[in-house]
Amino acid sequence: MPRYLVTGAGGFLGRFVCEQLIARGDVVRGLARGDYPELVRLGVEMRQGDLADRATVLAACEEVDGVFHIGGKVGVWGKWFDYFQANVHGTLNVLGACREQGVTQLVFTSSPSVVFDGADQRGVTADAPYPTRWLAHYPHSKAIAEQFVLTQDGSDVAGSGMLRTTSLRPHLVWGPRDHHLTARLVERARAGQLRRVGPGGNRVDMVYVENAAAAHLLAADELALPEPKNAGKAYFVTQDEPVDLWRWVDEILALVELPPVKKSVSATAAYAAGAVLEAKQWALRDFKSEPRMTRFVARQLATDHWFDKEAANRDFGYRPAISTAEGMRRLGEWLRAKAEGGRGKAE
């Protein structure tokens, strides 16, 4: 019976990975900074601690066969040290613990933004080069961490042969229990703060959360084989079909009976506004509250970014099992229940 550690187990994607592992009968240990009794009730052995603490990570990796390293710091604003500490130093701790504790499989959760340079990306393959300039600390720190993970494939581990590693790059993960992407989108729309950036029509890849989680399990199963096809490689994980970004945003808003986005701002103006707002908060040393616009977000919202969809299927059999239409139906149910729950508390 395989034994797995899931870092970031209490997060959006991490929780779905835990649930899918438990559902198929695997033994699961979770590492998170917070307390998650719902995962304990599910059957996950939870450990509480920070990825930056070597002793915590070393203990969490004891007697496990594989690690899903999902935890880290996300976002588009903050101090470089905080992103480096969580995403780079934390990943180095995971790699070191894998080697010392005899862990033989490591699936790293990366992001397509590690190869985003601010320009349109169409049909990009995973061997695309990393940028030479960065618009945010998150993709920069994840790119450094990913390179460490991939270069450590085939390294010796204590008493178990070698460590096999792979990196997955899911893009725009969405679905029920998402308190970041879709929930914040709805919140801004209700506050009248949502603007379309650019003329619209830009196509982007995204992935429903349960499909993203399933891709992680498939990647780990491939790594467990004697000659894994995905070892030492990175993969984009998507719904297999890009969407018109702003039409999709309107469809999400329609799930909670909100009107489509009417107002717009040019891509150039949004980028300039992002630069000004970043400079203002930098001058104030305000790294806690996120600017309403940043250069990275402006570019992400106005450009095409869709990726090679065949490599993940070819090397470890990933295809999205849950359609976008079904995922949207489930997301709508969750958003409406969330809204009704909020009204109930208010009443």
Query: Which residues are known catalytic residues?
Result: 138
Q: Strand locations in the chain, DSSP E?
A: 3-7, 27-32, 45-48, 66-69, 105-109, 121-124, 155-157, 161-170, 173-174, 196-197, 203-204, 207-208, 233-237, 243-244, 264-265, 305-307
Query: 90 and 52 in contact (C-beta within 8 Å)?
Result: yes
* Cα–Cα distance for residue pair 276/279, rounded to 1 Å: 5
* Cα–Cα distance for residue pair 166/146, rounded to 1 Å: 9
Q: How many CA atoms lie within 13 A of 260 on its CB side?
A: 9
Query: 68 and 17 in contact (C-beta within 8 Å)?
Result: yes
Helix (H, G, I), strand (E, B) or coil at 169: strand
Q: Which two tokens stand for residue 123?
A: 């049909």
Tell which phi-psi region holds residue 68, choosing left (phi > 0), alpha (psi between -120 and 50) or beta.
Answer: beta
Query: 67 and 29 in contact (C-beta within 8 Å)?
Result: no
* Cα–Cα distance for residue pair 118/5, rounded to 1 Å: 34
Give per-residue burial for 63-72: e unless 16+ CB within 10 Å, then b: ebbbbbbbbb
